Amino acid sequence: MTTSRIPGGAQERLLLQRRVVRVLAAGQVLGGLGAGATLSLGALLITEVSGSSAWSGMAATMATLGAAALAVPLARLAQARGRRTSLSTGASVAVLGGVAVVAAAVVSSLWLLLVGILLLGAGQALNLQARFAATDLAAAATRGRDLSLVVWSTTVGAVAGPNLFEPGEAVGRALALPPLTGGFVISATAQALGAVVYLVGLRPDPLLTATAATGAAGTGAAPSRPDGGLDVLRSSPAARRAVLTVALGHAVMVALMSMTPVHLSEHGASLSVVGLTISLHVAGMYAFSPVFGHLSDRVGARATVLLGQAMFAAALLLSLLGAEDAAVVTAGLVLLGLGWSASTVAGSALVSAAVPPAQRPRLQGVSDSLMSLAGATGGAAAGPVLARVGFDGLAATLLVLVAVTALAQRTR
């Protein structure tokens, strides 16, 4: 393992941490463009290449599976070589995915297109890992705040990414590329710039610095080989509780959010109403994350998680009791986004606090992988549940997961 110089004092460590958060935030803005384009343009491009809208859902599915599959390898790379190498590698893989998507459109290959979107999932995986990187050097009193600032920076890319259609088409025409591919050129360029930001900005590496400082504060010997993430889960109740919180919260959010456009459309809502509802939901997910980071530091991460579960419950009750009213459903989806933000920010802080620095990356990788898989499972299961018991029945079903998470927080 390469080493990093240990900061000479608290002030130097604080200045380094501030710079790390700024670098991660800049990388998140760039990376968020790729994620937004994948979900919005990917479904349209798959329909165009395959000739059938039946394949359109595979854009979100492949991107999510890619994020889940790449989370652990990127975490292992961080463990061995540091965040700088891991995050820049993830961004580079996402660039390859964007190139593959454009090539697939040129040759009209559905399978190459699906592989390209799978590789673009690396962008989502590194965006998840970046929030943990913000905690490597953070003091316990500011861990939630620093993590939440990186999550908040995702707002810019998440909002701008789905709106790359027109500028992307202009780029595509200038490069003589097929329709719908210019947005992926923009996102690949953004990811390449993100890789440069990580390579240049994360010096010294925050994870290697934190690990070296922990070893120096102990016996002076090199830290022992860390356990794998699953080993930590088996041995640490705190780690299991934290990972469960993040995964189940994400499953609840994805399941209800993914079915809301279908439900609103079936009940006569216009596309503008559906779009506004989703936009307000996304704003709830990211825009207020610093508030929940501050609460996590001041009143405690577990208390903030419980607040998130309360907002989840309120959102689901609104969806259950007011399923026929678009305004009520919209209010519920805003609360759903806020609940996700509180649960994810505070839950991620709990994941980082559950183990010492040497064990964090692999546990974080397992947490991110399970989070992505839980979201994919929630989204896939929500459709059949909606068809069988309706939107209100789906909300009632998800209340069970909220209750499980809330009860887990009360277990010592």
Within this chain, do residues 139 and 254 fall inside the same structural domain, yes or no? Answer: no
206, 136 Cβ separation under 8 angstroms:
yes
Q: What is the pLDDT of residues 230-242, one digit of tens each?
A: 777 888 888 899 9
pLDDT the model gives residue 229:
65
Within this chain, do residues 62 and 166 fall inside the same structural domain, yes or no? Answer: yes
**CATH number for the domain harbouring residue 71:** 1.20.1250.20
pLDDT the model gives residue 2:
45
Q: What's the mean per-residue pLDDT of the chain? A: 84
Distance of CA 208 to the CA centre of its chain: 23
pLDDT the model gives residue 189:
92
Within this chain, do residues 327 and 393 fall inside the same structural domain, yes or no? Answer: yes
d(CA 258, CA 79): 34
Within this chain, do residues 21 and 109 fall inside the same structural domain, yes or no? Answer: yes
Q: What is the pLDDT of residues 1-29, one digit of tens each?
A: 444 454 556 788 888 999 999 999 999 88
Within this chain, do residues 257 and 284 fall inside the same structural domain, yes or no? Answer: yes
Extract the residue ranges of the chain whose pLDDT is less than 50. 1-4, 6, 216-226
152, 290 Cβ separation under 8 angstroms:
yes
Phi, psi of 25 (to 5 degrees): -65, -45
Domain count, the chain: 2
Within this chain, do residues 213 and 234 fall inside the same structural domain, yes or no? Answer: no
pLDDT the model gives residue 273:
77
Within this chain, do residues 326 and 268 fall inside the same structural domain, yes or no? Answer: yes
Within this chain, do residues 152 and 249 fall inside the same structural domain, yes or no? Answer: no
Within this chain, do residues 174 and 238 fall inside the same structural domain, yes or no? Answer: no
Within this chain, do residues 25 and 170 fall inside the same structural domain, yes or no? Answer: yes
Q: Which domain holds residue 300?
A: 229-409
Asked which of 158, 190, 217 is the last residue of a domain, the reply is 217
Asked which of 149, 183, 217 is the last residue of a domain, the reply is 217
Q: In angstroms, what CA-CA distances link 122 with 46, 64, 66, 118, 411? A: 19, 9, 6, 8, 34
Within this chain, do residues 233 and 212 fall inside the same structural domain, yes or no? Answer: no
Within this chain, do residues 266 and 189 fall inside the same structural domain, yes or no? Answer: no
- The answer as to whether 3 is a domain residue is no
